[in-house]
Amino acid sequence: QSALTQPASVSGSPGQSITISCTGTSSDIGTYNYVSWYQQHPGKVPKLMIYEVYNRPSGVSNRFSGSKSGNTASLTISGLQAEDEADYYCSSYTHSSTNTVVFGGGTKLTVL
């Protein structure tokens, strides 16, 4: 069982917006602004899409945005495109136990 909870799947049509949630606790998302989001296409290496809750690395489309409220972080993808179909993972810094980084279980995004 992952430390962060994500929906197993979400879907949307091209052009629409979708939001993927990532729920943690006061030991991770609720305390730290070190939430990241990763995109992984089948057979490919994960790619950082968002870091520190809402920052986009250079080269990442501004259709991707991040936010946080309480113990829940969210990734929003606007103007869905076929190429956005992938698995998405959230992660957070944490002070629980000895782990310092925890991931969510991943969300499969299907573009209809």
Partner 1 sequence: EMQLVESGGGLVQSGGSLRLSCAASGFTFNSYWMHWVRQVPGKGLVWVSRINKDGSTTNYADSVKGRVTISRDNAKNTMYLQMNSLRAEDTAVYYCTRDEVIGSGSLGHWGQGTLVTVSS
Q: Which stretch binds partner 1 (CB under 8 A): 17-25, 64-72, 76-84, 101-109?
A: 101-109
Given CA atoms 47, 50, 51, 56 in this order, what sign does their dihedral have? positive
Q: Which stretch binds partner 1 (CB under 8 A): 10-18, 32-40, 62-70, 71-79?
A: 32-40
Indicate which single residue of 51, 65, 73, 109 sits in contact with partner 1 (rule: CB under 8 A): 51
Structure token digits, residue 47? 């790619």
Separation between Cα atoms, residue 108 and residue 86, nearest integer Å:
6
Give the three-class secondary structure for 101. Answer: strand
Separation between Cα atoms, residue 111 and residue 36, nearest integer Å:
22
Q: How far is the CB of 13 from partner 1 (least distance, A)?
A: 26
64 lies in the site for partner 1, by CB under 8 A: no
Indicate which single residue of 57, 81, 110, 112 sits in contact with partner 1 (rule: CB under 8 A): 57
